[in-house]
Amino acid sequence: MTTTIQVNDDTVMFLKSLREQFNQPSYDALLKLLMKKAMRPEKSMYGAYGKMSMKNILKDLRDKNDRY
């Protein structure tokens, strides 16, 4: 299914530049590539706290006044 979308002239120029930069055969392929990059997390947060114990990580998560 082919669909036409309206974009400004500067957006067309930007898309043309990106298509050449990423060496994509079509705008459809370029947009799919950009969407995949946008949905993928930049950096994994796995191990961000190092080798801390769970008790130390959760120690100050809630104040004693918040407890029922």
Q: What is the rounded distance in angstroms from the CA atom of residue 14 to the CA atom of residue 16? A: 5
Q: What is the rounded distance in angstroms from the CA atom of residue 28 to the CA atom of residue 4? A: 11
pLDDT one-digit tens code per residue, 18-54: 999 999 999 999 999 999 988 877 666 666 667 777 7
Domain coordinates in residue numbering, the chain: 9-63
Question: Residues 21, 29: contact at Cβ < 8 Å?
Answer: no
pTM score, whole prediction: 0.57
